[in-house]
Amino acid sequence: MTESLPAGAVVRASRATFDPSRFAEVEALSTKQAQYLAPAVERLPGLIRFYAGVSPDGSMLQLSVWDSEEHAAQLSHLREMVVVARGEMEAVGVTFSPIATYPLSWTI
């Protein structure tokens, strides 16, 4: 089934890396952060979907789908995300890559 998305929908990808030996610690922190991040992100207008994952290979990804690039940019200013969660992750050795936003051209 193909999902219908609004014209102008975008995917926002936030990637990070860490020492794989710290996987359990980073995964536990990510799960803990969901308790305050999920409600804060859900309140933002334009959110369609949000996914977060931590891999034993030493990488993590937050992938979200938004109705517009303007709405996707809200995450870059959300205190819970850019100050609290990022600071906690950096304290355990997580290094963030630049965030990328992609206009959607098709879905399955």
Q: Is residue 49 situated within a structural domain?
A: yes
Give pLDDT, residue 2: 58
Q: Is residue 5 situated within a structural domain?
A: no
Q: Is residue 82 situated within a structural domain?
A: yes
Give pLDDT, residue 3: 67
DSSP symbol at 107: -
Give pLDDT, residue 42: 97
Q: Is residue 62 situated within a structural domain?
A: yes
Q: What CATH number should be reported for the domain holding residue 53?
A: 3.30.70.100
Q: Who's near 53: CB < 8 A, 6+ residues apart?
A: 60, 61
- Which range of residues forms the domain containing residue 62? 10-103
* Closest CA relative to residue 44, chosen from 14, 64, 29: 64
Q: Is residue 51 situated within a structural domain?
A: yes
pLDDT tens per residue across span 7-45? 999 999 999 999 999 999 999 999 999 999 999 999 999
DSSP symbol at 73: G
Q: Is residue 41 situated within a structural domain?
A: yes
Q: What is the pTM of this model?
A: 0.91
C-alpha–C-alpha distance, residues 2 and 4, integer Å? 6
Number of domains forming the structure of the chain: 1
Tell me which residue has tokens 């963030």: 96
